[in-house]
Chains A and B, each alone.
Chain A
Amino acid sequence: MDGKKKNNRAWFLVLPVVFVVAFTAIIPLMAVANYSLQDIQGASNRLFVGLDFFKRVATDPNIQDAFTRNLTLSAQILLIQIPLGIFLARLMPRSGWKASAALVVVAIPLIIPWNVVGTTWRIFTRSDIGLGGVLVNQFFDYNLSEDTTDAWATILVMDTWHWTPLVTLLVYAGLRSIPQAYYQAAAIDGASRMAVFRFVELPKLRRVLMIAILLRFMDSFMMYTEPFVVTGGGPGSSTQTLSILLTTIAIGQFDLGVAGAFSLMYFLFIQIFSFIFFTVLTLDERPGATKVTPKEKKAAKLAKEPKQVRSKLEKVQK
């Protein structure tokens, strides 16, 4: 110790953030927690029900269906958008005015306001007057308000159009940060294009891809706007995401207890999934997390023993 007292006054600088976060996140979340554990009819009329609402959420077939549906949607989105994003990023020019032009074009879907995106797509997909709808109708019967497959495909295409650019931009930035020497070394080693991608680019893109996958998973699992404006969750419940169902329960049916429990479970699922995903992917980057082979373990154990014991043990092992 250097005898100096620790100065903790810097903590005061964090207070404004704590204050803001309290009002924007913690207190609203506590209200949700309140609703999920009590049946609240009015300010003075409430009943503690424990985990009843949670049980109802877990066993509700509608919610279960929406959960499976949303997981499927997220999985499909990741399977389409991540490879497509990498593919597009690799096609983009690396320098000069072409690079700038490509960046602007790719970024356009990202900077259009959400409600504009919704309205645009609603008109675009109309089978009577929409450019896309009419065009697709030339080849096969397309009607997103009647056909469940059409509705589902429309949501997928729309989300892909809207969010693949995010993956592309992230991967592009990742690719640009790979020093030229790696490509030169690969050329000297006689590596094929595929090998360059597999052994140079992909390992270097790991961190960016992790961020891209996390963001795309969270966003798609919370998807609301796209189905809300284009299909309204239908036909039937074929494009009803968890967010849409939650809104229906909370605001449509005003079933706040179930909605509260639903929200918390929803929130926790995304948190836990992201946490596990992140932890698994960064496992070998942690200090001291080196994989130790059994052979090395044995050798290390051996080294700790006193010398005479060691030589005996070595003989035994042989």
Chain B
Amino acid sequence: MAEIRLEGVAHSYDGGKTYALNPITMTWKDGKAYALLGPSGCGKTTLLNIISGLLKPSEGKVFIDGKDVTDVVTDDRNIAQVFQFPVLYDTMTVRKNLEFPLKNRKVPRAKVAERVNEIAALLGIEKDLDRKPSKLRSDLQQIVSLGRGLVREDVSAILFDEPLTVIDQNFKWTLRNRLKRLHLATGVTVVYVTHDQTEALTFADEVLVMDQGSLVQAGTSESLFLEPQHEFVGYFIGSPGMNFLDVEASSSVLTHNGKPIGKAAKAGLNGSHRFGVRPEFLVPSKSGLEFKIDRVEDRGVFKLVHLSKDDFKFIAKTEESYDAKVGAKANFSFDAKRAFVYDMNKKAVSTVSPSSAGGN
């Protein structure tokens, strides 16, 4: 069990021309479950491979429990990694698979047998020990490949690299719960890479959202949803994503094409910005902006109302009872704490309250 610290870790695959991972400094606390969330190619796997030691970062240092391990090879780092698909030695039985990492490290035979039985009991695969892994269901195969990482004593951390990718739909949920339970039972630090927000939000204590090689926001699933500090978080988390609109700020008053949208809480805001509000917080009201209803998606428990006004479109997520008529005019306002204004670096600078002028 260990605390992992990254100091200015960055990586470039082409000798510094482009960076797959921009400098990151952060600490992964002992025993916590983290999720790395982001689209394909955002640097999640690169970051993971740097932690496990499969990749040496071009810049920066990696510390495990305060010890600099930047130059320590993978096999001395005591890190378990589970890949996108079950990686197993097909010619060996499940038992041999579990023994393999210990035998490679010349652990005494009696100790090997003891550890293997312990881990098999923990994973609930005792009865499958003498079978070939190819005869197991895919979620169990993934459990076995996790077991190969756990079988070593004093595992510092478990890294999951999109472990549910090839698992049958029916077993995804079971496997995720099982992994979660294992995390609680072992108390090992877990880093879970995924591009599926549901997976990330339900699995982890803290979710780190990545985009284009940078960490854009870290926080609980709640804070990522309620207070997206970066445009990407607003867009990537939530379904559908945040509504955005180019606005011009003048002494914190936000206008779009000269028409008032709202007022930023932070004083003295000027220049081009982007305004963002989640569909959940765009609510029907007497005052507020007047939209035309283009289309209504009835999702059973809620409605997605597609709105348009002048040259932009918004989506509002309303209660099922909301009476939306296509083509009709409707007024929508937003919650003052839940609307944000972002600067040109896509970072949130302030919350926005609805314009008192309202209407047109």
Q: Could you name 10 residue pairs across A and B whose Cβ atoms are closer than 8 Å?
A: A184-B74, A185-B81, A185-B87, A188-B79, A188-B149, A189-B101, A190-B104, A199-B89, A199-B92, A203-B89
B105 at the interface (CB under 8 A from A): yes
Minimum C-beta distance from A196 to chain B (A): 10
Closest to A284 in B: B132
Binding site for B on A (CB under 8 A): 179, 181-182, 184-185, 187-192, 195, 199-200, 203, 290
Count residues of chain B with CB under 8 A from any CB of chain A: 25
A203 to B90, CA, bound (A): 7
Q: Are B85 and A181 in contact (CB under 8 A)?
A: yes
Q: Are A187 and B89 in contact (CB under 8 A)?
A: no
Q: Which residues of B contact A182 (CB under 8 A)?
A: 87
Q: Are B91 and A189 in contact (CB under 8 A)?
A: no
Scan B70-88; emit 1 where CB is below 8 A from any A CB, else 0: 0001110001110111010
Q: Which residues of B contact A190 (CB under 8 A)?
A: 75, 101, 104-105
Q: Which residues of A contact B92 (CB under 8 A)?
A: 199
Q: Which residues of A contact B81 (CB under 8 A)?
A: 184-185, 188
Minimum C-beta distance from B113 to chain A (A): 18
A232 to B135, CA, bound (A): 54
A182 to B145, CA, bound (A): 11
| Contacts A181-B83, A185-B83, A200-B89 given; does A191 touch B100 at CB 8 Å | yes
Q: Which residues of A contact B91 (CB under 8 A)?
A: 199, 203
User: For B89, B90, B135, B145, which residue has the most chain A Cβ atoms within 10 angstroms?
Assistant: B89
B148 at the interface (CB under 8 A from A): yes
| Contacts A179-B85, A181-B83, A195-B104 given; does A188 touch B52 at CB 8 Å | yes
Q: Which residues of B contact A187 (CB under 8 A)?
A: 54, 73-75
Closest to A195 in B: B104
Closest to A187 in B: B74
Closest to B161 in A: A181
A290 to B100, CA, bound (A): 23
A192 to B81, CA, bound (A): 18
Q: Are A184 and B83 in contact (CB under 8 A)?
A: yes
User: For A187, A188, A195, A290, which residue has the most chain B Cβ atoms within 10 angstroms?
Assistant: A188
Q: Are B148 and A189 in contact (CB under 8 A)?
A: yes
Q: Are A189 and B100 in contact (CB under 8 A)?
A: yes
Q: Which residues of B contact A181 (CB under 8 A)?
A: 83-85, 87
Q: Which of B115-159 contact A (CB under 8 A)?
A: 135, 145, 148-149
Minimum C-beta distance from A252 to chain B (A): 50
Q: Are A189 and B104 in contact (CB under 8 A)?
A: yes
A188 to B78, CA, bound (A): 8
Q: Are A188 and B75 in contact (CB under 8 A)?
A: yes
Q: Are B104 and A192 in contact (CB under 8 A)?
A: yes
Q: Which residues of B contact A199 (CB under 8 A)?
A: 89, 91-92, 100
Closest to B54 in A: A184
A137 to B187, CA, bound (A): 72
User: For B73, B74, B80, B92, which residue has the most chain A Cβ atoms within 10 angstroms?
Assistant: B74
Q: Which residues of B contact A203 (CB under 8 A)?
A: 89-91
Q: Which residues of A contact B49 (CB under 8 A)?
A: 184
Minimum C-beta distance from B228 to chain A (A): 33
Minimum C-beta distance from B133 to chain A (A): 12
A185 to B84, CA, bound (A): 12
Minimum C-beta distance from B75 to chain A (A): 4
Q: Which residues of A contact B85 (CB under 8 A)?
A: 179, 181
A188 to B149, CA, bound (A): 8
A185 to B80, CA, bound (A): 9
Minimum C-beta distance from A7 to chain B (A): 35
Closest to B84 in A: A181
Closest to B73 in A: A187
A188 to B76, CA, bound (A): 8
Q: Which residues of B contact A179 (CB under 8 A)?
A: 85, 87
A189 to B100, CA, bound (A): 7
A200 to B89, CA, bound (A): 6
| Contacts A200-B89, A203-B90, A290-B135 given; does A185 touch B148 at CB 8 Å | yes
Q: Which residues of B contact A188 (CB under 8 A)?
A: 52, 54, 74-75, 79-81, 101, 149
